[in-house]
Amino acid sequence: MTIAVPLGYRLAGVHCGIKKNPAKPDLALVVSDPPAAAAGAYTQNLVFGAPVGWDRKLTPCGGIRAVVVNSGVSNACTGERGDRDAAEMARLAAATVGGEAKQALVMSTGVIGTFLPLDKIALGVQAAFAALGQDGDSLVAAARGMMTTDTRHKLAGRSLLVRGKSIRVCGMAKGAAMIGPNMATMLCLVLTDAALSPAAAQEMLSGAVDETFNCIAVEGHMSTSDTVLFLANGAASAEQPAGDDLAALRRAVLETCTELAIAIPDDGEGVSHLVTIDVKGCRTRQEARQIAKTVAESALVKTAIAGADPNWGRIVSAAGYAGVPLDAGKISLKLNGFPLYQRGAPVTFDAPAVSQSIRGNRQTSIELWFGEGDAQCRFWTTDLTAEYVRLNADYTT
């Protein structure tokens, strides 16, 4: 699928020397020629990287001209010097287009506790500025500049017609999924050439993140650096969409985020199954998500799926300790469509057939019903394989 770069944006990805391999880009620069409205969603970790602190103070806001991202060093757990370095990185990016530091947002991912090599980043920003483009190659280069241990770059996009004008949404993400430098940081940048106020952009982004990036789990270890940024520069149309048009744009942003979010657990080395968990019949969406997250983070559930073992007791019991009030006698469960547990009692089932359906498919479906209400949540996770452990057991030394 060809993904169109929204109007008014120019992008580049270059190697500036943070990563050892010169074939791997480690810096991405995105410039918006019209000043853009910007929104952000960030890690809830109280130990957060300096770039998160910088962006969180600024967004939602207008007037953003540049986003700069580096991979290899996360600038987290770096104290006050880290804060100064993040500000300097923003200043360098904004200066390329004659802007002030506060007109640039920054993202960093990589090793924790190491200071940013600002000399390399300064040269990298210059090189990236010289390389800026609006074609597909520039988009891919920028997406590759934010990668750490991702095996492939992650891009998604949608186009839609609003009052006869074509509007584009495109997003890039990095997610190290099962393995990652320290903790599988997730970064994402979504761009649109629609016009939105900062508040409207923030509301649209928060809604999309709630259903996508907040509904994926790999090992449940919350990063210091998770960041999703959303820019809307109005280059395609200065008029803010409203009503059905706004809903269509919202859907395009949601679909873009959904594709990118699923791509993260799907990309872990060591992952042999992408698991979709549908929790239904809850009182509230928040409760449904809490149950889904608890099942998604159970090492016993994840190892069972890696082994194609229809061990439904692990799934039902994980739901039971999610901290959500429930009646154990009303729980039902399907695995890959096979009913295994109904209204609190076991069902006789063909275990070899269920096992074969897990073994034979990369995707596994878990459906849970609670009979408490109408709220539901879809969540994505991975299995847990011995390869995951091997990859994560020796990262920094």
Q: How far is the CB of 334 from a copy of itself (least distance, A)?
A: 15
Cα 191 from Cα 5, distance rounded (Å):
8
Cα 73 from Cα 114, distance rounded (Å):
6
- DSSP SS3 for 312: helix
Beta-carbon count within 10 A of 345 CB: 9
Q: Which residues bind a copy of itself (CB under 8 A)?
A: 44-48, 76-79, 111-114, 182-184, 219-224, 297-301, 303-304, 306-314, 316-321, 325-326, 328-329, 331, 341, 344-346, 351-352, 355, 384-390, 392-397
Q: How far is the CB of 225 from a copy of itself (least distance, A)?
A: 9
Q: How far is the CB of 310 from a copy of itself (least distance, A)?
A: 7
Largest CA distance in the chain: 69
Q: Based on CB atoms, which residue is closest to a copy of itself, 176 or 194? A: 176
Q: Based on CB atoms, which residue is closest to a copy of itself, 130 or 351? A: 351
With residue 171 as reference, give the H or E element that holds it. strand 165-175
Q: Based on CB atoms, which residue is closest to a copy of itself, 164 or 323? A: 323
Cα 59 from Cα 65, distance rounded (Å):
13
Q: Based on CB atoms, which residue is closest to a copy of itself, 39 or 318? A: 318
With contact defined as beta carbons under 8 Å apart, do 126 and 66 qualify?
no
- DSSP SS3 for 390: helix
Read off the DSSP letter of residue 16. Answer: -
**Nearest to residue 17, comparing CAs of 118, 87, 93?**
118
Q: Based on CB atoms, which residue is closest to a copy of itself, 20 or 163? A: 20
| Beta strands 9-14; 27-42: pairing state | antiparallel
With contact defined as beta carbons under 8 Å apart, do 369 and 319 qualify?
no
Q: How far is the CB of 96 from a copy of itself (least distance, A)?
A: 31
Q: How far is the CB of 181 from a copy of itself (least distance, A)?
A: 9
Active site residue 364: no
Pick left, alpha or beta for residue 110 (phi over 0 → left; psi -120 to 50 → alpha; otherwise beta).
left
Catalytic residue among 59, 148, 185, 258: 185
- DSSP SS3 for 307: coil
Count of CA atoms in the C-beta half-sphere (13 A) of 240: 11
Which sign, positive or negative, has the C-alpha torsion 385, 387, 388, 389? positive
Q: How far is the CB of 201 from a copy of itself (least distance, A)?
A: 27
Residues assigned a catalytic role: 185
